[in-house]
Structures are given as C-alpha cells and as structure tokens.
Amino acid sequence: MAVLLAQAPTTSFDVDGIKVIFKPTVKNMVSVRVYFRGGVNNYPAKQAGIERMTLGALLQCGTTKHAANDFKDIADYYNVDFGAAAEYDFSDIEMSCISKYFDKGWELLAEAINHPIFDANEVQLLKNTFSSAVKQSESSPDNHVQQLLIRNAFAGTVYATDPDGTEESINSFTPADLKSYYSTMLNKNKMFIVIAGKLTQQEITEKVRAAFGAIPASPYHPVTLTAPVWNDNHTLVEGRSLATNYIAGIMNAPVMTSADYVPFKLGVSAFSGTLFSVLRTQRNLSYDPDASTTNLLMPYATMSVSTTSVNEAVTLMVTELNRIKGLNISKKGVEQMKSSFITSNYMKLQSSSAITGNLGVAEVMGGWSYFENLPAMLDQITSDQITKAMQKYLVGVRWAYLGDVDGAKQAEEAFRLMVR
C-alpha cells in the first residue's frame, strides 16, 4: 500500500469553485499552500509590498478567535509552521506540520484566511519588521546588485515594482489599507490550493469545502505579459566603497511552456558549472561565481560574480558565455550534464514543502503538470537543442555593477566583448 501511494500521481480537482492540486505521499509531513494569482499586477507601484504585508498580517496580527500571541503559541505547541511569500507573479501562504497534527494546522490556516483582524498594534510591529528587512536588503551588496539588475532590465514593466516594497510604501500602509486590499485577494477565481501529504482526496475535499466554500467568486482575467528582449549591452552602475565589486548580468530566457525551456535550463546549469571552474577553481578570481534561470511569466537568466579583478573576471565571463553558445556537446557530455542537473536540482525537491512550492509555481507559469513532466522531458534533450536554445536567447546582456567606479569603467570595456 505504501508503495502504491508513493507512486500515486498528482491530481487536480475542483471544490466549490477552488482548484485543488494534490500530491499523495508516504511522508509524515503535510504541506498546504494557498496561492493567490497576479503578484505585482494586482496593485500600483505606489503600493509596492502591500500583498506581502497583507499576508504577513494574516499570520501575525491575530484573528477573531485568537489574539496574535495566542495564535503563535498554539502553532508552536503543535509544531505547526506557517510562512507567507509575495513574488512578481503570485503570492502564497504555507502551513506545514506532521500528519498527527494536520487537523489543528488546518484549523489555524482556515482561521487566518477567513477571519484576520489586522490589529493596529500588531500591524505597526509588522511594518517595523518589514521596513527593517527592506533597509537591510538595500545595504547587502549581493541583494542590491540584483535589485539594480531588475531595475535596469525591466524598467517600464510591472516587474519594476518590487513585491517586497520600499520603506516609504510599507510605512504608509494602515490596517484599513490592508483589510481593504485583502478583500480583493479573497476570490476563488484568483486562488488555488496545493497539498502534499499522506491524505485522501475525500479528506481534502471535505476540509476545503468546509473552510473555503463560502469565499466569493468574482471575475478575474490574468494579465498577459510579454518579456522585453535584450539584444544589446547596457550597464547600470552604482558607485559604492566596498571590499570587492559586485557584477551581474541578466539575459533573455524562455517561458516554462516553451519547447526551449528544458534545454535552455540545462545549458545554463552547465554554464554555471563552467563559471565556477574557470573563475574560482582555475583563476581564484571570485568566491561564488554563478549562473541560473528564474522561472517567471517574464523569465530571465542571470550570471554574477564578486571580484577585485574586474576586467579579468568579466572578460572570462563573457568569453565563456560566447564559447558555450557555439559548443558542440558530445552525447556523453549531454548525459553528464543531465546527471549533474538532476543531482543538483531534484535532490532538493523531496520534501512536502518543496513539492507544493514547485507544483504551485508551475501552475502559475502554465500548468502544474510541467513540473511533474520535467524529468521525462529532460531525458529527451539533445545536444543540438541545447546549442540552439542558448544561441536563440543569449543575444544581449543588461548589466548591473556595484562597487568602485574605476572598476566599472574596466567592466564596461569587457562587456563589449559580448557583441558577437
């Protein structure tokens, strides 16, 4: 029975107008995520951070049944963990607990979603916490260079709005603002639920119907986003006196539903390994060179390095990028790339929380089945597909530079090597 359950496929079904995605597991942990579609499309730039603040208030500011401290104490007593996140395309609340305490965890989750009170004192404490986090993020070079990167690449689009908000926007929100905004989120047509655990569909159906059946269903039409195309090299520089310089580049990438998605992701993963080998292992120019893809409705790939040898590091980054675009990978090499990709990625996706997180993101990007089908699609990828995908999307880079201004001039000279 355990073997059958472990092999049970993910399913989706409707419960009174709410889509539910369910992954049966034999794990003793249950993860439930309630998703809200839209992300930064849901609010104007002047309200940056309001969705994140609102979901934080649901979990930290109390409910009609439990004051804030009581809610936390009960969750701690039963080892129920809560979390909330707001991203560019969606937001979510997660509840995770051991199977033994699932009923209590579900009860608290339903109470938080259905009956938040936005207590004024607790909201002020939340504002202080969030405002401090934004300030710390600005002061962290690693985080700030990524902020510069997004600002450079997505100017004039909805992604120019940071879902974390700004100090100014966060401090402007009142309890009434959060309560009013939450009324626009609580809509069956904007929501879906992802659950992973040792449960049955009947159990889930009964709980979802009882907890969320009365939520209103209002018209919702997702916004169609078209990613900008970066086919040039443009640099955003911010001078700052630092022990090292931080450099990042952002590049085009395919959406999850594209046939190029898997080969491109595989190619960038291999490129990341190459950067580490060349810049750190061989030349010792940087501690943490990296390249990765970001799965969004307007997706992108990035590469980054922190270094004191700006010209040499950037020249090598660009040289390796140009080299991998024209690389004719052998069949054995492709198999090694696949094996390395699976080891570094799928081994991290075994927990119930990781399962609900990845199924939910895939659902927002085009359908939860893309996550389930990724290993099978990976198995079919050829060298030619990888090369064509890399050549198709790596046609320009938008750069961000944080550090010594003289180093920025050296970097800009090296960036010109990208034009090929």
Question: Where exactly are the structural domains of the chain?
Answer: 2-212, 233-418
Widest Cα–Cα separation across the chain: 66
- Is 7 a residue whose pLDDT tops 60? no
**Residues in CB range of 345: below 8 A, 6 or more apart:** 269
> For 53-62, 89-98, 165-174, 334-343, which range has the lowest pLDDT when averaged over its residues?
334-343
Q: What percent of the chain is modeled with pLDDT above 70?
A: 95
Distance separating alpha carbons of residues 184 and 134, to the nearest angstrom: 25
**Residues in CB range of 332: below 8 A, 6 or more apart:** none
Q: What pLDDT does residue 4 have?
A: 34
What are the helix (H) ranges across 94-222? 102-114, 120-139, 141-153, 167-172, 175-185, 201-212
Mean pLDDT for the stretch of residues 227-248: 88
- Tell me, which fold does domain 2-212 have in CATH? Cytochrome Bc1 Complex; Chain A, domain 1 (3.30.830)
- Please, which pLDDT band fits residue 345 given cuts at 50, 70 and 90? low
> What homologous superfamily does CATH list for 233-418?
Metalloenzyme, LuxS/M16 peptidase-like (3.30.830.10)
pLDDT in tens, 114-156: 999 999 999 999 999 999 999 998 889 999 999 999 988 999 9
8 A C-beta contact, residue 54 and residue 182:
yes
pLDDT averaged over every residue in the chain: 91
Distance separating alpha carbons of residues 290 and 265, to the nearest angstrom: 14
Q: What pLDDT does residue 330 have?
A: 81
The reply to whether 233-418 shares the fold of 2-212 is: yes
Mean pLDDT for the stretch of residues 272-296: 93
CA atoms within 13 A on the CB side of 246: 20
